[in-house]
Structure 1
């Protein structure tokens, strides 16, 4: 894919500032129902002023500048300023702990930290190295750092349109990681622009599109879909304020493009079914006169009635869930990629999607399956390497330049990819058989009672599954005064075990399902910032109970 300086996302941003200066680019909630609009002209002007300030601090070209913030307009403004000034951005998840923020700041050798919109600053600030310069956003928690608005008010904008070369480093993505220490994934302006340009070729985004930003901008999925594509194409970005205002935020944006992760698609579904049980919904969808009205009402309630494209990514999604949304008239497309290729690998294309498959390769991407079953990717978005980790970088690629994804997969006759699990997630039972947990978890997660599951059983005669019930059921159980609800749930889960065991091989059949009372969340370390299950954390938390569960010889067990 040919990329020159005029294609780069920074140059495209200058273009929108010149050609569409009065058009609103970003809408930022400020609290209390108020919002602040940032036109393209204002966006470029504020970024230029901050770039001049950063340069005045005397950092060498290519220095790393870190950002720790929830999604907000100033995250994008900061990244633009960093690029204009000749530096490299390092985004940090706002949900990390003090130890992790210290590790990333020190490992990246960041010279300055933008402190943004945060809920846990009192803990995070303990990990900020003493003496590190910091700059505060308007929505930041109270601190003594220089304020963004004060700096730009007294600083002249940087002159001209500073350009960056395609092969200059643009950003470092520190992986959230379900295991181990975060790794710094290096991307150049070429790799990020190749991903954006290829996405534009397939999906034909336009300046009239609208998107809601609410997944972490520190994650590659949001960084591509929201930030870099909007800078390239010029469409409008709305930011979510909080979980409590999410429905209002979606309805304000009325997005034409909507992306989410499997756990949230499940929550949206469960919210619908809490008001309209599946049996009633099925009946209404079979009535020609009512079917269209019901579909429109549900999608309007979700704020998605104007969505022309909906995508799920970051983790496997149950095929039944994709079909459920399609039955409502929303073609939910599944994407597959990773930080190491700037989210540029595979996607289900409109009209060509196959449920259960993550789609075909994007333009310029080549995919093959190794003899061991591992998915190997050669993408124009492939990273240049892991920051300061040459051995890890070497190990991440094959000798002929393909990225080792760590995922197991297979291709159909039309080149569509199906992910069948993680290479390292396979476990061996005491019978010597290998089990891939993800396909079994997809069967379990399709049940409307269940929000998440984790299949385990290394060294045991048969696998078993831990499940977290849906939010609705968890609330109902807390208010239940007798055991009748538990009895109903047990009956449904018993039936589920029977159905799952009919669809898998004998050695994959579940010994039991254990219902846990814990909520698996980002805050308690069970999930990554993008809501992927940390399998090792789950296994460690419950390992002491496994022998007791097997000893009970029951199909459904409550872990109270």
Structure 2
């Protein structure tokens, strides 16, 4: 038995157990960093404060005891509706140490769905970021008879009053918890000792692209497994500094906390997406997790800036990008074939020159210390992956679902392969069904959908295998490749199957102006596409062409933009089979976003929503059309 497998097999009962062990082992080490604004509130004057593990434990024990004082009992649900911040983590750890189960609610969730989640989960208490989150359900409190308490992270000058609901600040909850511990000093430790592996730990609701969201039941053993498996895989180290901005209501962000508690490394926490670029040089992380969209935006930004500078600088960037991709591809192919990284001398010399001119600046923008950045929730275009790999920014694609408590596979830091999602974590099995569907089995797999036994039976086999709904393959070295979403693969009226995400990924790799693209064609006689452009990139290009006086809507509807994007469409079509080619496309008047319900909080495109929103645009592309 390998040491990694031994670690997994002998994992603790829960993250609550992991947490108490971590505090005992390294009480004085730094645990968390978080930004605190200066007195004048200026964002650029923010300071990063720290909590040691001992200080974290003091607050977590007070929160846990406060929940016990409110009458919360094992497996009863405690919801959290907040952006990513250190208080989210403290509340989650406090709920787990009280034996309760966390119900994760995205702060972007609209009021009706928030009430549905709170009611379906049977939540007894809820942590909310501020009055805005409280207002989402306060007027419907009669639909939530089991909800008795709301705890505000940012209470404001005066606590809101809601009839039938006790509203208190986080500070007040901790104060009550401290008083409770004065009377019951061992209450938290006794509660943690009583936790069992199969006890419910979390309900995370799927984003609900069709119908109501489903509550995924994840037990304490799921999270303990995640923590230990991430360490055993070599993904996390005790000396890491991780920058966390992902939504903690998403399973990806939540799983990272399990790994961090296990290894005890430093976590810098700030969920403000508009501060990512500013925070990276300040935090100087060794590790960061992200969604592919962030890397696509960074790449587009770099390319756009080089284009705006024009002349020799733009030519140098294009040359350096080509060298980066060639170097990374050659190096990885050599490693896969021979076990050693080898590149021709001429390519190595070009790479060294490009590193001095271009790549060093890219690494500096990420803080200069990044040894790996985990990418998940959607596929990363291979050409973008090779670009960053060649520039020394190592993007480690992984794969997982809400139903598997996040990561099932991940690329190793020292042998990652662009275009794959890596190898299974220790303790997780991967099998490919006859129709190509990826099946998973392991400790991280959910125990079912909350109150939905029929839906559970559709995806969870009696022998533990979970049907992911994704199409994929496993190579001879055990690396998994996800080729498409089973439900997204469509068949044209001519009987040809098309995997849209493959085409979309190719387009994103060559078009620096694209933000989102959806390839359409199910039951149609040819493929078309809806294309949304990145505002900053396309407006910069328009200004360089003397059209800086136009609005975004005017710009994207102009003939010049149509011609520009058509050039990229034709380039993609040149590498596709005839039935895969994009015959027609429409540039959308705005980008897709969460507010219009077109993206999930983890930035995945909700295809059915977008297709309904732009049904008329799609129909117009097919009116009177015949296959070319």
Would you say same fold, with TM above 0.5? yes
Contact kept, 8 Å, 1:94 with 1:118, in 2: the verdict is: no
Partner of residue 35, structure 2:
29
Moved more, 458-467 or 134-143: 134-143
What displacement does 1:530 show? 0.3
Q: Structure 1: how far apart are the matches of 2:135 and 2:14?
A: 38
Partner SS state of residue 385, structure 1: coil
Q: Structure 2: how far apart are the matches of 1:127 and 1:206?
A: 46
Moved more, 120-129 or 378-387: 120-129
Contact kept, 8 Å, 2:586 with 2:617, in 1: the verdict is: no
- Aligned match for 1:480, one of 535, 540, 548: 548
What displacement does 1:351 show? 3.9
Partner of residue 97, structure 1:
110
What displacement does 1:137 show? 3.7
What displacement does 1:58 show? 2.4
What displacement does 1:182 show? 1.2
Q: Structure 1: how far apart are the matches of 2:304 and 2:564?
A: 16
Contact kept, 8 Å, 1:67 with 1:114, in 2: the verdict is: yes
Partner SS state of residue 245, structure 1: helix
Aligned length: 553
Partner of residue 263, structure 2:
233
Contact kept, 8 Å, 1:66 with 1:90, in 2: the verdict is: yes
- 1:34/1:349 CA distance change after superposition, 3 Å: closer
- Aligned match for 1:367, one of 416, 430, 438: 430
Moved more, 443-452 or 247-256: 247-256
Contact kept, 8 Å, 2:33 with 2:267, in 1: the verdict is: yes
Moved more, 93-102 or 433-442: 433-442
Partner of residue 248, structure 1:
278
Q: Structure 2: how far apart are the matches of 1:330 and 1:434?
A: 35
- Aligned match for 1:380, one of 429, 439, 443: 443
Q: Structure 2: how far apart are the matches of 1:484 and 1:44?
A: 54
* TM-score, length of structure 1 as denominator length: 0.92
Q: Structure 1: how far apart are the matches of 2:224 and 2:586?
A: 46
Moved more, 458-467 or 133-142: 133-142
Q: How does 1:57-96 map to 2 (within 5 A)?
A: 57-96=70-109
Contact kept, 8 Å, 1:497 with 1:512, in 2: the verdict is: no
Residue 474 of structure 2 corresponds to residue 402 of structure 1: no
Alpha-carbon displacement from aligned partner over 1:35-91 (angstroms, at most 9, x marks no partner): 442221121111212222211222343211111111111111111221222211111
Partner SS state of residue 96, structure 2: helix
Partner of residue 197, structure 2:
166
Q: How does 1:247-326 map to 2 (within 5 A)?
A: 247-277=277-307, 279-283=315-319, 286=350, 288-289=352-353, 291-292=355-356, 294-303=358-367, 305-326=368-389
Contact kept, 8 Å, 1:98 with 1:127, in 2: the verdict is: no
- 1:374/1:212 CA distance change after superposition, 3 Å: same
Alpha-carbon displacement from aligned partner over 1:387-414 (angstroms, at most 9, x marks no partner): 1111111111234321000011122232
Contact kept, 8 Å, 1:66 with 1:105, in 2: the verdict is: yes
- Aligned match for 2:250, one of 200, 219, 225: 219
Moved more, 127-136 or 478-487: 478-487
What displacement does 1:444 show? 1.3
Q: How does 1:435-454 map to 2 (within 5 A)?
A: 435-446=498-509, 447-454=511-518
What displacement does 1:254 show? 1.1
Alpha-carbon displacement from aligned partner over 1:91-113 (angstroms, at most 9, x marks no partner): 11111001111111110101111
Contact kept, 8 Å, 2:404 with 2:446, in 1: the verdict is: yes
Q: Structure 1: how far apart are the matches of 2:567 and 2:357?
A: 33
- 1:124/1:464 CA distance change after superposition, 3 Å: farther
Partner of residue 134, structure 1:
149
Alpha-carbon displacement from aligned partner over 1:167-215 (angstroms, at most 9, x marks no partner): 2221111122433321111111212111221111111523321112211
Residue 605 of structure 2 corresponds to residue 537 of structure 1: no
- 1:350/1:85 CA distance change after superposition, 3 Å: closer
Q: How does 1:333-344 map to 2 (within 5 A)?
A: 333-344=396-407
Partner of residue 193, structure 1:
224
Give me the CA root mean square deviation: 2.6
What displacement does 1:455 show? 0.6
Partner of residue 457, structure 1:
521
Partner SS state of residue 337, structure 1: strand
- 1:125/1:300 CA distance change after superposition, 3 Å: farther
Q: Structure 1: how far apart are the matches of 2:409 and 2:300?
A: 28
Partner SS state of residue 518, structure 1: coil
Moved more, 245-254 or 189-198: 245-254
- 1:124/1:534 CA distance change after superposition, 3 Å: farther
Partner of residue 423, structure 1:
486
Contact kept, 8 Å, 1:30 with 1:139, in 2: the verdict is: no
Moved more, 378-387 or 425-434: 425-434
What displacement does 1:314 show? 0.3
Contact kept, 8 Å, 1:53 with 1:151, in 2: the verdict is: yes
Gaps of 5+ in 1: 556-560
What displacement does 1:386 show? 1.0
Moved more, 486-495 or 317-326: 486-495
- 1:380/1:282 CA distance change after superposition, 3 Å: same
Q: Structure 2: how far apart are the matches of 1:247 and 1:459?
A: 43
* TM-score, length of structure 2 as denominator length: 0.82
Q: Structure 2: how far apart are the matches of 1:410 and 1:504?
A: 21
Alpha-carbon displacement from aligned partner over 1:91-145 (angstroms, at most 9, x marks no partner): 1111100111111111010111111258665446445556633343443567422
Residue 36 of structure 2 corresponds to residue 14 of structure 1: no
Q: Structure 1: how far apart are the matches of 2:513 and 2:626?
A: 19
Moved more, 488-497 or 417-426: 488-497
- 1:484/1:518 CA distance change after superposition, 3 Å: closer
